[in-house]
Chains A and B, each alone.
Chain A
Amino acid sequence: MSQAKSTLTAIEEVGFRDEVREWLAANFPPSLTGDGEAQRRILKDSELITGDLLLWRERMGGKGWAVPTWPAEYGGGGLSAAQARVLNEEMTAAGAFNPIDGPGVMMFGPTLLEYGTEDQKQEHLRGIASGKVRWCQGFSEPGAGSDLASLSTRADEHGDHFLVNGSKIWTSRGAQADMMFCLVRTDFSRKHDGISFVVFEMHQPGVKIRPIRLISGISPFCEVFFTDVKVPKANLIGPLNGGWTVAKRLLQHERSNMVMGGGTKGDAGIPLAKLAKKYVGEDQAGRIADSHLRMRIVDNEVDERAVQLTVRRIAEEAKGGSGPSTASSILKNVGMKVLQDKAELALEIMGYQGLGWEGEHFSDDELSTVREWLAGKAFSIFGGSHEVQNNIIAKRILGLPDPSQGR
């Protein structure tokens, strides 16, 4: 029975694979093949999305394949998980990429599908699926980081709308966003149960944006200030004072995307061992000349392989249908640690050349390695810090007693 079913699935997959190949051949602009620069433009200013990139976005948006598993009625592809996997494989094989990305696709859309009213889904999902409307996240505040539920940006009821006052920080690409999904306090007498989840337009009076310059020299995050920002009550997602449940679900989407996308893709640059042979040299036996460094490169490779094998194991266990694996709780911390260690080792390997900030004395690779090392320090802070992840493992997986009444 199950074998017959899986055979049927396999046949359907073959047919779908042919369909995908044909469509990609007809629609993916060849000029974009393997164009990393174009991929990076996706998340930048709208004015930069032009020419073939814009064409590709329109085609993918029209097909719904940027969000392949969303229902077609909301602008998605209406595909099964297996079909989405086939699509992904074929895109990779063709050198294509998904031209629609960001918090709307990754986090807010899936959450709205679960918690939104029919009107809200009709209003927002198509814009996300087509890439035309871009979203940003208003969660963290200067006084509410790891303890997110202590947030104090307030929304006061005024007839058919709320007035929002306060500020948000670490808003990724807030300057490029059209809409914000935002956690606000609607009841100051309760902590978790006084939070509501609202959405509103960024381009309106009372919203002020200030980019934050980071240690890496770039400004991917903003601080956003609200003064009497009008938010219609129809823009409340989930019940009044029931926003924390919605937010927790959204954070799950954020973390799972982070691990799958960030921590496990493997070598982005040159393997450390090769880099070390170039900068540090080899001994007569062909080993990296610095034996202590050599062993630390081993440790990094060992951890990286162990993480990759764990990702594979979790995927296999998921196929077995035994529910979510406890192993997935560890991935954010270890995945990010591997990347941070790798960046530290790369810097050390390059020596003086790994300390350049800018200028012609350093190669582009050297300079970008330095900037990535700095940017990577955020990996263990955002999306639930290393410490918060450990709290979650200790409490939810190991069942250790809660030290406080916090989240």
Chain B
Amino acid sequence: MGLLSEEQEMLRDAAKGWARQNSPVAAFRAMRDSDVAIAYDADSWKAIADMGWAGVIVPEKYGGSDFGYLSLGLVLEELGRTLTASPLAASAMGTASALVLGGTESQKALWLPRIAEGSAIGTLAIDEGTHHAPERVAAKATKSDTGYVLNGAKVFVLEGLAAHLLIVSARTAGEPGDQDGITLFAVPADAPGIGRERLALIDHRGAARITFSDVEVGAESVIGTENSGWSLLDKILDRARAGLSAEMLGAALEAFEITVEYLKVRVQFGQPIGSFQALQHRAAGMFTDLELARSTVEAALRAIDEGSPDVAELVSLAKIKVGDTFYRVSNEMIQMHGGIGMTDEHDAGFYLKRARTCEAAFGNRSYHRERFATIRGF
């Protein structure tokens, strides 16, 4: 952990304590077994919101604490450790960022206080194909007398069933693949013409496919400016990516620590398997990756807080590094646990499955390597 303020340390400790006490992996397991449609526990979410964590990046004027991205990242990391299912990343990080960065005064006044207190949940509805490709928008927004009419479909919308507010990218000009001609809209999720279907994913979180059939939205629902939503969208996505990276770091750390503990207690050939150098060196390699990943995640979050010009580069760096690390650690968690790691009764499978959905969300490692090279000019 880099140098934190006293308040940040208190926030992190509070999140750590709450997650261990009130939201262990067993709580996630219970949620999964209950098969609740929104894919998180409403009481837990209320507790999270009551502690103010949904308003960490929201300005005080709209009911938040304006405490910054690194601070919210610390909470996401601790909740990520225990695989806590909640809309915190989608709503308090992604959607709140969209409103703070690009929202009009009335959009902010309408939504931010409710997001900060947790009574409204927002999410980003961006992707349409098999991979993250935010410029490949085919969903159309056609001008009408009163505003726009939306048609199209979005996939892999996190917390899509629970959301009250959708931040939707749609094309007002150009062709899929063009960065120009994209416009962002704030759309109430209960607007007529919106259809939502649950996507039952491996990680049992609340992803949805959302369809728009002649959905009418007012002109005042545009976030940013018509046709030039790309640069705003890129900034919003970078905040969502940084938040997700923090959650992935937490989950990877926990998966690693569980595995190291197992190496100390599992006895074969008359000794703990952790005494075998083949396993020790793989563990040392994972520890190394985790330390590097932490540096990149913290740097990305700090860069956002400081308004640094290299946010995009650092965010891609973090998503690559933490993506590589979580991939490796989640695989090794299964391998080093052996047979028990293959059972549903054990938690290893949860970490593996969560690793892969986090990896795909907001750009996988290949996406961000390509982006990193482009930013660096080669």
- Residue ranges of A at the interface with B (Cβ–Cβ < 8 Å): 273-274, 276-277, 286-288, 294-295, 297-299, 301-303, 305-307, 309-310, 312-313, 316-317, 319-320, 326-327, 330, 333-334, 387, 389-391, 393-395, 397-403
Query: Nearest chain-B residue to A402 (Cβ)?
Result: B275
Q: List chain A residues, Cβ under 8 A from B264.
A: 399-401
Q: A298-B369, A302-B372, A317-B3 known; A330 and B275 CB under 8 Å?
A: no
Query: Nearest chain-A residue to B296 (Cβ)?
Result: A306
B285 is contacted by which of A317, A326, A390, A402 (Cβ under 8 Å)? A390
CB atoms of B296 and A309 under 8 A apart: yes
Q: What are 19 A-B pairs with beta-carbon distances under 8 A? A: A287-B378, A302-B369, A306-B292, A310-B295, A312-B295, A312-B299, A326-B291, A330-B287, A334-B288, A390-B284, A393-B283, A393-B288, A394-B281, A398-B287, A400-B260, A400-B280, A401-B264, A401-B272, A403-B276
A294 is contacted by which of B271, B277, B378 (Cβ under 8 Å)? B378
Q: List chain B residues, Cβ under 8 A from A274.
A: 378
Q: A303-B292, A306-B296, A306-B317 known; A317 and B284 CB under 8 Å?
A: no
Q: List chain A residues, Cβ under 8 A from B275.
A: 400-403
CB atoms of B373 and A295 under 8 A apart: yes
A387 to B284 CA separation, bound complex (whole angstroms): 10
Q: List chain B residues, Cβ under 8 A from A334.
A: 288, 292
Instruction: Count contacts on B: residues with CB < 8 A to the other chain.
Output: 37
CB atoms of B321 and A302 under 8 A apart: yes
B372 is contacted by which of A298, A316, A320 (Cβ under 8 Å)? A298
CB atoms of A273 and B317 under 8 A apart: no
B338 contacts the other chain (Cβ, under 8 Å)?
no
A297 to B369 CA separation, bound complex (whole angstroms): 10
B16 contacts the other chain (Cβ, under 8 Å)?
no
Instruction: Count chain B CB atoms within 10 A of each CB in A276, A287, A310, A316 and give the residue with the most.
Output: A310
B295 is contacted by which of A295, A309, A326 (Cβ under 8 Å)? A309
Query: Nearest chain-A residue to B260 (Cβ)?
Result: A398
A299 to B366 CA separation, bound complex (whole angstroms): 11
Given contacts A306-B295, A394-B283, 4 further A-B contacts (CB under 8 A): A286-B378, A390-B280, A393-B283, A398-B283
Q: A310-B292, A310-B295, A403-B277 known; A294 and B263 CB under 8 Å?
A: no
CB atoms of B280 and A288 under 8 A apart: no
B339 contacts the other chain (Cβ, under 8 Å)?
no
B298 contacts the other chain (Cβ, under 8 Å)?
yes
Q: Output the least CB separation between A399 and chain B (Å).
A: 7
B294 contacts the other chain (Cβ, under 8 Å)?
yes
Query: Nearest chain-B residue to A316 (Cβ)?
Result: B3
CB atoms of B287 and A397 under 8 A apart: yes
Q: List chain B residues, Cβ under 8 A from A301.
A: 372, 376
CB atoms of B291 and A310 under 8 A apart: yes
Q: Output the least CB separation between A155 and chain B (Å).
A: 33
CB atoms of A305 and B378 under 8 A apart: no
A305 is contacted by which of B263, B272, B296 (Cβ under 8 Å)? B296
CB atoms of A277 and B378 under 8 A apart: yes
Q: List chain A residues, Cβ under 8 A from B378.
A: 273-274, 276-277, 286-288, 294, 297
Please give me the 4 A-B residue pairs with the lowest Cβ-Cβ distance, nearest first.
Answer: A394-B280, A273-B378, A393-B284, A309-B295
Q: Output the least CB separation between B278 and chain A (Å).
A: 10
A320 to B6 CA separation, bound complex (whole angstroms): 11
Q: List chain B residues, Cβ under 8 A from A310.
A: 291-292, 295
Q: List chain B residues, Cβ under 8 A from A302.
A: 317, 320-321, 369, 372
Q: A298-B369, A310-B291 known; A305 and B317 CB under 8 Å?
A: yes
Q: A295-B369, A310-B295 known; A333 and B288 CB under 8 Å?
A: yes
A75 to B373 CA separation, bound complex (whole angstroms): 50
Q: List chain A residues, Cβ under 8 A from B271.
A: 401
CB atoms of B377 and A393 under 8 A apart: no
Q: Output the least CB separation between B286 and chain A (Å).
A: 9
Q: List chain A residues, Cβ under 8 A from B260.
A: 398-400
A309 to B322 CA separation, bound complex (whole angstroms): 14
B134 contacts the other chain (Cβ, under 8 Å)?
no
Q: List chain B residues, Cβ under 8 A from A316.
A: 2-3
Q: List chain A residues, Cβ under 8 A from B1.
A: 317
A305 to B321 CA separation, bound complex (whole angstroms): 10
Q: Output the least CB separation between A190 and chain B (Å).
A: 24
Q: List chain B residues, Cβ under 8 A from A387.
A: 281
B291 is contacted by which of A320, A327, A394, A399 (Cβ under 8 Å)? A327
A298 to B368 CA separation, bound complex (whole angstroms): 10
Q: Output the least CB separation between A387 and chain B (Å).
A: 7
Q: List chain B residues, Cβ under 8 A from A389.
A: 284
Q: List chain A residues, Cβ under 8 A from B250.
A: none
B349 contacts the other chain (Cβ, under 8 Å)?
no
A319 to B263 CA separation, bound complex (whole angstroms): 34
A277 to B288 CA separation, bound complex (whole angstroms): 32
Q: A273-B378, A301-B376 known; A394 and B284 CB under 8 Å?
A: yes
Q: List chain A residues, Cβ under 8 A from B320.
A: 302
B118 contacts the other chain (Cβ, under 8 Å)?
no
A313 to B299 CA separation, bound complex (whole angstroms): 9
Q: List chain A residues, Cβ under 8 A from B224.
A: none
Q: List chain B residues, Cβ under 8 A from A286.
A: 377-378
A320 to B19 CA separation, bound complex (whole angstroms): 26
Q: Output the least CB separation between B309 and chain A (Å).
A: 15
Q: List chain B residues, Cβ under 8 A from A288.
A: 373, 378
B103 contacts the other chain (Cβ, under 8 Å)?
no
Q: List chain A residues, Cβ under 8 A from B80.
A: none
The proximity string for B residues 255-291 relative to A, scoring 1 for CB distances below 8 Å and 0 otherwise, is 0000010011000000110111101110111011001
Instruction: Count chain A CB atoms within 10 A of each CB in B2, B294, B298 and give the residue with the most.
Output: B2
Instruction: Count chain B CB atoms within 10 A of each CB in A387, A391, A401 and give the residue with the most.
Output: A401
Q: A310-B292, A401-B275 known; A287 and B373 CB under 8 Å?
A: yes
Q: List chain A residues, Cβ under 8 A from B287.
A: 330, 393, 397-398
Q: Output the least CB separation between B6 and chain A (Å).
A: 11
Q: List chain A residues, Cβ under 8 A from B288.
A: 330, 333-334, 393
Instruction: Count chain B CB atoms within 10 A of each CB in A287, A309, A399 and give the residue with the most.
Output: A309
